[in-house]
Chains A and B, each alone.
Chain A
């Protein structure tokens, strides 16, 4: 896509109570793209959303929305002039207004007739027919969310911000709603940024993912690429891409508790203490009375048995995930082997457990 970005953020710093919440955050998003911001609580994702909406002011950096500078060292555009739609976690529907009045709130400058037309269109689009004159407290959580979406879409914003939009939705309905909302946004070519702490929501809902940690964006990209090639162990760890194995690097050989591996990828060899990311699909498990590992825990999943495997000897320390169709008892000794693949290696650091 060669179009100019809808949102462009450049080296943004936010400080609250003398604490740096956002640190040199930059990214941009093209028209129609949906970005999922993920990260552990306190990583700054909601702050970033608030900064884009204009609810708080960064210290330095630039925010440009649809080519219009909204924040820089010498401009600050108030939230009401940014043309952004926001969907709040608690929906923040006006309790003293009916569904129709809520939806019409942001288009009060239109004449009565166009307001009614617009509301009618959105009511139909979000399947809210028959609820026009109800009040928010008379609606279910899912219906409230639809009203919030309709209200945000009414002024035809350039950008939609969603703060944990699915956290108040019943787990059983959540997936269905996500797909429905994604189809709606795609049909409108709406650009959107949403915040979540649930990685599964990103994979269902987003075109791009930004993994945040302590005020930084660690990695930004297509979800498939990020999963395939995480740029740091925090990213892999947060997205739960696999389990960790400590290893030592000697020239082109990797010494792991499960045996020697040959590596051919480029790696900075200055430091030979390595953490190897092992995805479950790259492990094979076989029952072996003299195996060096032991089954510690079994989860029963729809994909078969999920085993947590630990070393027999206290010399090593690992907890590996592996799937198998085979039934194995807890406490059974097994032999693990790593299937040859493009190994994902990180330098070991003291933040790791």
Chain B
């Protein structure tokens, strides 16, 4: 209900606030707009050249990778959610949250560890050769992980928890009486799942599939490691390899178009996710599964957890145990410090901006009050490589311009103040993870009953007094969580840092990526474990929220 609120008078003040906040939003999105503009107006010859050479291969790899990962994630996540919900799986209490943990595992880490394990020189094949007395690769067939298919499986192994989590929530929100009703009408529970449950959770599946697709399009390190050329690796290579900014920009624009397509898809499916009844289904009594079936379902769920989290973690721990020394530890301290430093600044900036945007939406009386919040959240969909290209192509010219001005005034040239410092890295983090802070605080605000604010007003409090005395104290947990989530995501982010970091500046993620590229992760296994542990923080929080 839109009520005409008291004091809805348009004044100079409201206009000024609106302009200020719009400028802030625009500043966040500006680089992407600039890049897209440059990409869209790139010479046609560039595109036709790309089309005749590498683009079809890149595009088809990107699209196939996306398709494969989505299908596999739906299979892994959808089935495990259904099994866990409807069948008495052994260890279900643990599996409920264990199945979320693969989210904490960066895909490139698993890619490296499994290549190590399944390679020709890896443990498994060595064991097979020794056991069966095979001499060369010609004696037997073994799958090759470093392919498009391999990359799909690896990425799906860490992204399927999105599908699992959203489907599980949707299932739990369904009324268990629906299946009973369908049963009373003569339909078996299994067929009931197909005819009643699946159509009802379809919007949830669609939303989670688009999240998976977005993350897949943003993946850089896994495909790079597997030498599967997709748009993200192409952007990276054309810029760092050939210093060809225009082509890199054009490729980034194409990737951005793909992402926007997914975003639109996601928004459409999300609108169908309506509030359902709040009953927690105890639907397990409906099924009398065959023993074999139950065994398969239990094994399926546990295997996912093992393959997506427990095994890679174990491999990392073994590595850390074997190769760690004090020198490594002190290097890790420095690099970890760098990570914490940039992630901390980014989280603080994002939090402050999110407070401005969310309260603007809450307090402002203009019709456009939603826009800053919505627009500033768009950055989440922009892959790190694309964002990095956008910042480079915007900040680079600005830096030159600053230097020219300095020279004109006979001052010392300040150098690359924007594009060559951690400013660019922090900016990228803020744009990319703003949505998390926005969402967390906005949800927090929406949970504060309107009557509390009315009560404060009736007792004589104005806007700022309400903000200070009611909103902020009540939002304390949300603020903390928002900061933490942005911090953790920023710790994990790789491609943007890789492209934007100042010379000789390493963070945990770039350090580990470097070691993986050099095939010597052993040297940094402790750092990898650290990244996984940081990745666990938001999952634990997410899970706690789901349980409430």
Contacts and interface: CB of A to CB of B under 8 A. Distances in A.
A226 interface: no
Given A57-B5, A94-B470, A78 B452 contact: no
A107 to B, nearest CB: 8
Interface string A53-87: 11111010000000000000000101111111110
B474 A95 contact: yes
A335 to B, nearest CB: 51
A281 to B, nearest CB: 42
Interface residues on chain A, size class: 35 or more
A16 B3 contact: yes
Given A57-B4, A94-B470, A105-B469, A88 B454 contact: yes
Given A17-B1, A76-B6, A55 B454 contact: yes
A89 B454 CA distance: 12
B241 interface: no
Interface in A85-140: 85-86, 88-90, 92-96, 105-106, 109
Chain A contact surface mostly: loop
A151 interface: yes
A32 interface: no
A44 to B, nearest CB: 13
Contact of B459 (A16, A78, A151): A151
A80 B462 contact: yes
A86 B1 contact: no
B449 A105 contact: no
Contacts of B6: 54-57, 76, 78-79
A155 interface: yes
Nearest to B3: A56
Interface in A158-172: 161
A84 B459 CA distance: 8
Contacts of A247: none
Interface centre among B8, B449, B452, B473 (most CB of A within 10 A): B452
A334 B544 CA distance: 68
Interface centre among A56, A79, A95, A96 (most CB of B within 10 A): A79
Contact of B449 (A17, A92, A106): A92
Contacts of B470: 94
Interface in B1-52: 1-9
B473 A85 contact: no
Interface in B372-424: none
Contacts of B131: none
Interface string A142-158: 00000000011011000
Contact of A17 (B2, B460, B461): B2
A16 B1 contact: yes
B5 A79 contact: no
Contacts of A90: 449, 451
B13 to A, nearest CB: 14
A88 B8 CA distance: 24
Contacts of A85: 458
A110 to B, nearest CB: 12
A152 B458 contact: yes
Contacts of A86: 454-455, 458
Nearest to A58: B4
Given A90-B451, A96-B474, A57 B8 contact: yes
Interface in B438-471: 449, 451-452, 454-462, 469-470
A234 to B, nearest CB: 26
Contacts of A152: 458-459
Contacts of A80: 457-462
Interface of B: 1-9, 449, 451-452, 454-462, 469-470, 473-474
24 contacts: A16-B4, A17-B2, A54-B6, A54-B457, A55-B6, A57-B7, A59-B4, A76-B7, A78-B457, A79-B458, A80-B458, A84-B458, A85-B458, A90-B449, A92-B449, A93-B455, A94-B455, A96-B474, A105-B469, A106-B460, A151-B455, A152-B458, A155-B459, A155-B460
Given A57-B7, A79-B6, A94-B470, 15 more contacts: A16-B4, A17-B2, A53-B458, A55-B3, A55-B5, A78-B457, A79-B457, A80-B458, A80-B462, A86-B454, A86-B455, A92-B451, A92-B452, A94-B452, A105-B469
